[in-house]
């Protein structure tokens, strides 16, 4: 499995060299942006790039012809993405620190939570959808959710005061812990779903 995780680094060697300037760009020009957003983008950089690279070639045929099981191939994606997320956030943190971009530990926690949430939703798509359609699907998904989410949240805030009262009554610690727990559980459920889908796939 370690080899499969390492593979994602090898296949995007040139992209990884761009990672540092990419984060530096945010550190210099995105001072109005919330730091958690920079951490989130940084953490998704390697895992998503890895999927996109894998799609361009018949990598499924290659990986499944090598002595790996399908379980391992999916596991490597999920475990690998968590490892790369931690490394990327660490590197991004160092860069932001060097550029005097203020951030709190809270930003990192929020980014990690959102990373798990986003990964849980998108990773299975790479196993369901046909290669080439995923980029379009994610773009449409983002636009639709950007359009629908704020009114939906406003509706919830306005009409379901019981829920909002409950949420605001929680202490921040409880809120963070439960948020993290929920997104990690979603990530694990997503892993299981991807594994089931991938095991039935034909190439």
Partner 1 sequence: MQIMKGLVTGFVGANGAGKSTTMKLIMNLLQADKGEIKVFGKQYVNNERDIKERIGFVYDSNVFYENLNLKDIRKIIAPAYKNWSDKQFYDYIKLFELPLNKAIKTFSKGMQMKTSLALALSHDAEFIIMDEPTAGLDPVFRRELLDILKELTNDATRTLFFSTHITSDLERIADRIIFIQDGNILFHESIKDVQERYKLVKGNTNLLHQKIVKGFINIDRSSNEFQALTNNAEEVRKSLGDQVVIEEATLEDIMFYTKGARQQYV
Interface residue list for partner 1 (CB under 8 A): 3, 6-7, 10-11, 13-14, 53, 56-59, 61-62, 64-69, 200, 202-203
Q: How far is the CB of 75 from partner 1 (least distance, A)?
A: 14
Instruction: Please identify, using beta-carbon distances, which residue of 31 and 58 lies nearer to partner 1.
Output: 58
User: Tokens representing 17?
Assistant: 């060299």
Q: How far is the CB of 9 from partner 1 (least distance, A)?
A: 10
Instruction: Please identify, using beta-carbon distances, which residue of 64 and 180 lies nearer to partner 1.
Output: 64
User: Tokens representing 115?
Assistant: 């990373």
Instruction: Please identify, using beta-carbon distances, which residue of 154 and 201 lies nearer to partner 1.
Output: 201
Output the DSSP codes for 122-149: HHHHHHHSPTTTHHHHHHHHHHHHHHHH
Could you identify the residue written with the tokens 């001072």?
Answer: 31
Query: For residues 8 and 139, what is the distance between their CA atoms, to the nearest angstrom?
Result: 23
Could you identify the residue written with the tokens 């290669």?
Answer: 131
Could you identify the residue written with the tokens 């956030």?
Answer: 89
Q: How far is the CB of 11 from partner 1 (least distance, A)?
A: 5
Radius of gyration (Cα) for the chain, nearest Å? 18
Instruction: Please identify, using beta-carbon distances, which residue of 69 and 178 lies nearer to partner 1.
Output: 69
């Amino acid at each position: 499995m370690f080899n499969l995780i390492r593979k994602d680094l090898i296949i995007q060697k040139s992209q990884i060299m761009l990672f540092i300037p990419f984060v530096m760009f945010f550190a210099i020009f995105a001072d109005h942006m919330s730091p958690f957003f920079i951490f989130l983008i940084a953490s998704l950089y390697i895992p998503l790039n890895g999927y996109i690279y894998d799609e361009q070639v018949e990598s499924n045929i290659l990986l499944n012809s090598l002595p790996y099981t399908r379980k391992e191939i999916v596991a490597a994606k999920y475990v690998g993405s968590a490892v790369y997320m931690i490394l990327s956030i660490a590197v991004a943190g160092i860069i932001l620190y060097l550029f005097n971009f203020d951030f709190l530990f809270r930003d990192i926690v929020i980014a990690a939570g959102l990373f798990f949430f986003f990964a849980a939703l998108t990773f299975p798509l790479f196993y369901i959808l046909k290669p080439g359609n995923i980029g379009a699907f994610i773009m449409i998904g983002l636009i639709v959710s950007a359009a629908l989410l704020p009114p939906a949240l406003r509706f919830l805030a306005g009409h379901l005061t019981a829920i909002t009262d409950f949420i605001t009554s929680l202490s921040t610690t409880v809120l963070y812990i439960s948020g993290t727990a929920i997104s990690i559980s979603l990530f694990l459920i997503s892993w299981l779903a991807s594994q089931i889908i991938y095991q039935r796939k034909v190439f």
